[in-house]
Amino acid sequence: MLVAVLVFTSTLAVLQWRRADRLATGESARNAVLASAGRFGVALFTYDYKDLPAARAKVVALATARFAQGYRTATAPAQDEAIVRLKAEESARLAGVFTTNVHSGRAGAVVIVRTTVQSTEGTRTTVSSLQMALVRQGGQQWKVDTVKAIPSP
């Protein structure tokens, strides 16, 4: 009888240990997704007209090659000219990040940022929301693969 109780408790302890390890691994991945999505959201809305290439490099560093290619195409010289002409500087603060379950190296996130643009035309503050799809690359590194603006109500 004592042997049966010992086997039962040992088995139960191993099962609980495995479950706890699985939960910790999942929580760690979820936290990494939240951090990557938040950094990307802030980088996307932060720039200084004096050094636009540096701001773009931060965004590209947090994205997949597929997203980076589209991002480079979408940022037109005319947009840069307007930013420089207006001496615009934008800063962003993370207001919230929410994520889906992490599964098979993929996750989704919603990022909310508060942005402030200062230019020769004045100052404007807004709240922007983004829906993102992230993929795990290079082991534990999460990169943004797609971004879609969520319309404000």
3-state DSSP of 31-100 = HHHHHHHHHHHHHHCCEEHHHHHHHHHHHHHCECHHHHHHHHHHCCHHHHHHHHHCCCEEEEEEEEEEEC
Query: What is d(CA 65, CA 148) in angstroms, rounded to the nearest whole number?
Result: 17
Per cent of the chain over pLDDT 70 is 86
Total number of domains constituting the chain: 1
Q: What is the pLDDT of residue 20?
A: 59
- Edge-to-edge, what's the strand order for the sheet holding 122-137? 47-48, 89-99, 106-119, 122-137, 141-150
Q: What is the mean pLDDT of the chain?
A: 87
pLDDT tens for 21-60 read 565 455 788 889 999 999 999 999 999 999 999 999 999 9
Radius of gyration of the chain (CA): 22
Q: What is the pLDDT of residue 5?
A: 66
Domain, as residue range, for 135? 2-150
| Confidence tier at 103 by pLDDT (50, 70, 90) | confident
Tokens of 133: 């799809």
The domain that holds 115 is classified in CATH as 3.10.450.230
| Confidence tier at 73 by pLDDT (50, 70, 90) | confident
pTM: 0.82
The number of CA neighbours under 13 Å toward the Cβ of 148 is 6
3-state secondary structure of 1: coil
Tokens 């390890």 belong to which residue? 21
